[in-house]
Amino acid sequence: MCKGVLKLPLKAHSCVDPDAITLRIHRTSSGQWDGLILVGDEEIGSIAACDTPQAVEDAARETGLFPDHVEFEAE
């Protein structure tokens, strides 16, 4: 089970282009996986304390936003 935070509504965005939604996944020092949900460079949500990168992706999709791009940050 992951912990998630979604910061909606988006300020000054009348229409969200789904191609601009990015999920950036990284491994924490504790060995768990976290993710940031971004529109452009603006963070609109976060996912924390997941056991696997796939769990981060699943939790992001459960928000109702479907990232077009998934990026993995180097440890």
Mean pLDDT for 30-34 is: 96
- Would 36 be classed as within a structural domain? yes
Expressed as residue numbers, the domain containing 55 is 3-7+20-72
- Would 57 be classed as within a structural domain? yes
- Would 47 be classed as within a structural domain? yes
- Would 13 be classed as within a structural domain? no
Residue 52 pLDDT greater than 70, yes or no: yes
Scored b (16 or more CB within 10 A) or e, 48-61 reads bbbeebebbbebbe
pTM, entire model:
0.77
- Would 15 be classed as within a structural domain? no
Q: Phi/psi at 42 (nearest 5 deg)?
A: -90, 125
7 vs 15 pLDDT, higher one: 7
Total domains in the fold of the chain: 1
- Would 12 be classed as within a structural domain? no
